[in-house]
Structure 1
């Protein structure tokens, strides 16, 4: 055989030789019908390399070439590729299969048991989650019911107190007033309606005393409540006065339409905004506590350089200062050019 390889010459082999080669691949079997043909095989020291490693073989399983096609035994190829190769002589079939690792039945049983246990745990968790969701929903419903009941109770209690206040104070100082309450136990708003003449006929001290008597009775019932309110004209519901209280029940009355110290307000605005965003501003204020008008003077070029946010911050700050600090009910304003007082914008 070696001399044939070294000479690298074709060798004529008969069908008997071919059967000998195939016998190296498969166990011998009896063929129902055999055809014998002569073939010319070339042995040329062919090597088989799988993933960089040479696959060894012996003389019986040596690959060869026939008519330009390379042949090698399937069993040899199966060994290289980790496949199981068998010859089914009965059906004359070559059977190739993966080399699987057999799984012990106990392992299969254990895995199935584990799957069953995990499935049961999952179903239990789902059931618990459903119960939890139902509990949360019920608690939310109960909480809302409690809030509604508390609101109704507070409203009902305020209505009861309102009736008592009217019974006790509607005829005080010949006011012939109607008193109503709104809000809750922490913040109570009082609205008192009477004719304008009955209110203005009261002296300042009587107005204060009348309101403090009402507030005192409210604080007896709700000692920690914040109480404020308004006095309105019963004929047209125009506001005649507003009032606030402190924790002791002392009342501060703000009469509608009373004058204010314009120079003090202007000076306060100047101190706060005269150099706003690096630009110069002047201010003029007129009106009374029911309505004040503010003129803001600035160079038109400087106003145009301000962003929309800067403009809003300025005008909102002015309004808040007059309403919150100076107790003015309504504020309107104008942005004017310093050079000619022409109107640039309103707020």
Structure 2
């Protein structure tokens, strides 16, 4: 009943002090032996409202008592006091020292110390992670700034080459930079300049751009393409390998032959002939030896709206000169054949 874990909640009927069982007394400057006589007999002990007097006397063979000689101080067996407090006690007779040790408290304090160390370690780890996140955010922000600066530089250096205008945009992922080089062949002069530009020069342009990107972003793979906004078509793609070599995939077939393919002829005919009347349909086919066959139908809107065949002829000739191709064309106004061009 004395091993209660509720320490420090000791209630004793009188003031409890450490007592030497019979002859030990404490003086201001040391310890000495003196015989004393209990003048007030035994006292009662109560713990948590329960009378434990008999239990203490039976267990330890000594009662608690008071001594008038010492201002009525109460003396209790040391072992009993330790049990009531829930601690252990040892007595050193050579030094007359009673040592109380709260083992449970020591264990708890040690556990608390370990927990404090764990919390400190976790807090340090959290701080490291926070700092790492901040560093990554700074790197990301810096990278965004760098790629925008590089984009500006590339457009400044390669924005116009051989009278062709290029718009270069860059996109970055964690390990890759993708360059999109855009042209627009809707404009006559741009289209003509692009067709005149040598294939070797186009490939050299892609190699130079890839090299500049690789220098700025050494740990990134580099890839890209040349895209025609007007045709909505990718003309070239390129990739730089780990050795710095650029591989180009050529999809610009019509342009690279020096003349437009039949789809280009169809597009240019529509652009020039729509000025002369309402076009119902244009169909083009690949012919023999640099020739494109075409069937052109103007919508019949009455005799007064029929296009002049000489104007139609001149428009077709202009397309031939522009694309450096021969055209064989049958031109109709409704169901009426107005020109057989060859």
TM score, norm. by length of structure 2: 0.41
More strand, by proportion: 2
TM score, norm. by length of structure 1: 0.40
More helix, by proportion: 1
